[in-house]
Chain A
Amino acid sequence: MSWRVFAAAAIGKSHIDAGTPCQDAFARAVVGDTLVAAVCDGAGSQPLSHVGSEALSRRVVELLAQHVEAGESLAKLEEETFLYTVASVVKAVRAELEAEAQAAGVEPRCYAATLVGVVADGEGGWFFHVGDGIGAAQPQGEDAEAVVSQPENGEYANETYFVTGEDWREHLHLTRIGSPVRTLALMSDGAAPFVMAKGNAGFFRPFIDPVERFLAGVAEADGSKALAATLGDARTHGITGDDKTLLLALWR
């Protein structure tokens, strides 16, 4: 068994209309049986947040993958140890972003972005999360309930927390994936309304079932292209004006 990973980010209608770039970004690495992946969503209020979300997703995945390459079984760590590892990685990437901001003569908050990520092998793993976006894992077995890393918003739906914020550490949350997984997903808040069922309790089957069926039979590159076309479908414009990112990993 191994991971097959498909991912795409589609620019939102409101960003097309305003001429702003897609502010979502994703990155992933597979080291042996371990998948490391992240999806980031840049703050709409910050003109450089697409730079932040790209760098954040890429570097968090690179640094975590280095731990795995060095022989650490990250997916099997206890909560305290995993939290320490992921917090150290996020801290290091924040420092890189701060240095980059200083070199560019801008405030670090210009790179504001959320982060939802996963480290998982064939037996389970961890979601790690700052702000909104969703991580979801469908365990093997017919009636198994999905494990969901829920978004963290403020009182209002249009407020959230960013990795660049001073209080990022308080908002870094872990969710344990305690059993072997069939399907893993990371998504930005733009994709969540049609990928997830009401209340974000699990996947919306009329979306995910045809997607999984299709992806199971195609190569990663072709699957990601088809995923991009689907996320860019005009029907999504009646659902959200936001960028839509979905990373799907199938363990088969």
Chain B
Amino acid sequence: MTEPMMIPDVALVDNTEQRTPLVLVLDCSGSMAGEPMDQLNQGLKLLEQELKADAIAAKRVRLLVVKFGGMDHVEALGDWFDAMEFMAPTLDAMGTTPTGQAVDFALQKIEEQKLGFKQAGVAYTRPWLFLMSDGQPTDQWQAAADRCRQAELANKVAVFPIAVGGGAVGDALGQFSSRGEAAVKRLDGLKFQELFLWLSASMKVVSQSRPGGQAQLPSVDTWSSAPT
């Protein structure tokens, strides 16, 4: 059998610039200390590896890690990084749970990033805000939750609240999403590895998604105990 004739000497390279922004808003309050934090750190390393291993995701996914904890403290760990240059941070757990501040900060960072993309002529897909927490917010979070819900309704961002452990954290987290508590996924035990594998798989799909395509996300069965 003969191979179909190829046109010789043709360069096949990607000249587009397109990004899928992903902000990880991570609860680093005292209650996350110990095993949960170790697992979270391993999960972040796995996310880094998985995204770097995918040729398209490595170029297109752009990450920012925001931690909250300390004395009602919120900070970005470095700047935005394309996945190919992303180095997973090692987080530690201490202090309170200023979820509202953290989400406000993340929303602001997302709008700044979009403005940067527009000015540079870089196309982008809808940013993801991945909000993970194991406890009740300790700050004035309701107004921030309203703003976050509105931002999602206005199609500015897709919000993915993840509840770690038991407790009533789901009620509060649900208020950050326009889909309410139904949007909250509960992490089953400490399956952070499975969670971050799912996140990297989802990012591979979304970073490749194209007009008219409903991005078909992988199932969350491997890590979530939420009833569907």
Q: Does B121 contact A (CB under 8 A)?
A: yes
Q: Which of B1-9, B68-76, B95-103, B219-227 has 4 or more CB atoms under 8 Å from chain A?
A: B1-9
Interchain Cβ contacts under 8 Å between A and B, 19 examples: A44-B211, A45-B213, A156-B125, A157-B123, A159-B211, A194-B12, A198-B15, A198-B16, A198-B17, A206-B10, A211-B10, A214-B7, A215-B7, A222-B5, A226-B6, A228-B4, A229-B6, A239-B12, A239-B14
Please list the residues of chain B having a beta carbon within 8 angstroms of any beta carbon in chain A. 3-18, 55-56, 121, 123-126, 155, 206, 208-215
Task: List 8 tightest A-B contacts by C-beta distance, closest first.
Answer: A43-B212, A44-B213, A160-B211, A206-B11, A157-B123, A229-B4, A238-B55, A193-B16
Chain A residues with Cβ below 8 Å from B15 are 193-194, 196-198, 204
Q: A156-B126, A194-B13 are in contact. Are A242 and B7 (CB under 8 A)?
A: no
CA of A189 to CA of B212, assembled, Å: 12
Interface digits, A217-229 against B, CB 8 Å rule (1 contact, 0 not)?
A: 0000010011111
Q: Is the CB of A238 within 8 A of B56?
A: yes
Select the residue from A156, A190, A228 with max chain B CB neighbours within 10 A. Answer: A156
Smallest beta-carbon distance A61→chain B, Å = 22
Chain B residues with Cβ below 8 Å from A222 are 5
Smallest beta-carbon distance A156→chain B, Å = 5
CA of A112 to CA of B208, assembled, Å: 20
Identify the closest chain A residue to B9 (Cβ). Answer: A210
Q: Is the CB of B212 within 8 A of A204?
A: no
Smallest beta-carbon distance A26→chain B, Å = 18
Q: Is the CB of A162 within 8 A of B56?
A: no
Q: Is the CB of A44 within 8 A of B18?
A: no
Chain B residues with Cβ below 8 Å from A227 are 7
CA of A131 to CA of B215, assembled, Å: 19
Q: A194-B13, A239-B13, A241-B56 are in contact. Are A189 and B210 (CB under 8 A)?
A: yes
Q: Is the CB of A211 within 8 A of B124?
A: no
Q: Which of A44, A211, A235 contacts B7 (CB 8 A)?
A: A211
In addition to A114-B211, A197-B15, A207-B12, 11 A-B residue pairs with Cβ atoms within 8 Å of each other are A131-B211, A157-B125, A189-B210, A193-B16, A206-B10, A207-B11, A214-B7, A228-B4, A229-B3, A230-B10, A239-B56
Smallest beta-carbon distance B42→chain A, Å = 28
Q: Does A192 contact B (CB under 8 A)?
A: yes
